[in-house]
């Protein structure tokens, strides 16, 4: 298994350790958890961005009144 070292101030180290303890995790596991949560958020945002740029998003389809008319219910509503 590989190891990554990061430099943090004493204050930052204490804060990270406190949050890890609150989560009931060792510091390294807590930092990995944060990394994967951030990665998942990034992937979600990319998926949203792709959808918003898609034809499906930009072509909302029919309005309710068009749908009613197509079904021949325009005299019913």
Pick from 39, 16, 35, 14: nearest CA to 27: 16
Instruction: Tell me the HSE value of 51 on the side-chain side, using a 13 A CA sphere.
Output: 7
Q: What pLDDT shows up at residue 55?
A: 86
Domain ranges of the chain: 10-70
- Model confidence pTM above 0.85: no
Q: How many residues does the chain have?
A: 77
Residue-wise pLDDT for 18-68, tens only, equals: 999 999 999 999 999 999 999 999 999 999 999 999 988 888 788 888 889
Q: What pLDDT shows up at residue 77?
A: 62
Confidence at 6, pLDDT banded by 50, 70, 90? very high
Residue-wise pLDDT for 61-73, tens only, equals: 888 888 898 898 8
Rounded distance between C-alpha atoms, residue 3 and residue 29, angstroms: 12
């Amino acid at each position: 298994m590989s190891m990554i070292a990061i430099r943090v101030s004493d204050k930052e180290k204490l804060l990270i350790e406190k949050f890890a303890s609150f989560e009931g995790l060792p510091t390294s596991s807590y930092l990995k958890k944060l990394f994967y949560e951030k990665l998942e958020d990034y992937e979600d945002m990319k998926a949203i961005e792709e959808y918003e740029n898609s034809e499906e998003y930009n072509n909302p389809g029919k309005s309710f009144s068009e749908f009613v008319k197509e079904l021949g219910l325009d005299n019913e509503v």
